[in-house]
Amino acid sequence: MPNNLSELLPQMQQAVLDGDEQEAARLAQLALEQGFAPLDAINRGYLPGIRETGRLWEEGEYFLPELVTAAVAMKAAMAILNPAIEREQDGQAIGTVVLGTIQGDIHDIGKTLVGTLLSANGFSVLDLGCDVPIERFVQEATQIKADLVCASALLTTTMLSQRDLVLAVREAGLKAKVMVGGAPVTQKWADEIGADGFADNAVAAVEVAKGLVVHRAA
């Protein structure tokens, strides 16, 4: 049995690459039992596995099934680690987020990873899933008094709805900031539609979200 985190980390990465849900969860539990910080496990173990999965996808070595199973393995680990993170934070979220993939778009993996990392970094996240109507974004954000509304789009056709979402949030009188992302989305597009923030990857999304929450609080 590994007795230090450096031995566990490559196994965590491999569990994600293999899409091994049970192994990813087992290693997460083992890390907690041995007193390792859950954020270390995420940032140094599971996250590198997801990044490597993305690289292999871009190079044509991985395909959709591998992406899906890797995401499932990551979520299994997070199901173990998130409660520990919440205990460390005494249940005090640094911000409340409504997250989803815009209507007409069923891509889920990148959005799910963003939600996972936001949760791991102290945000309370309501993940609405994919193919989410604009009206539901606004309804849920209103109900939970969201600090952030985050919308992903993976198609050039569906990214147009991000503009409508920004307008809907403003027209509803919500104080929530709007952050957009997704494969075809750029900073130029975010600026054009009046979004408050943009991130081109999940790690960057956390830093942008933190900045938007601080800005709103000010």
List, for residues 78-130, the tens digit of each pLDDT value. Answer: 889 988 887 776 667 889 999 999 999 988 878 888 888 898 788 999 999 99
Element (H, E) at 70: helix 64-88
Q: What is the pLDDT of residue 1?
A: 46
List, for residues 160-186, the tens digit of each pLDDT value. Answer: 999 999 999 999 999 999 999 998 999
What is this structure's pTM?
Answer: 0.77
In one letter, which amino acid is 78? M
* Euclidean distance between CA atoms 218 and 215, whole angstroms: 5
Report the Cα 117 to chain-centroid distance in Å.
5
* Euclidean distance between CA atoms 46 and 67, whole angstroms: 14
DSSP-derived secondary structure for 163-216: HHHHHHHHHTT---EEEEE-TT--HHHHHHHT-SEE-SSHHHHHHHHHHHHHHH
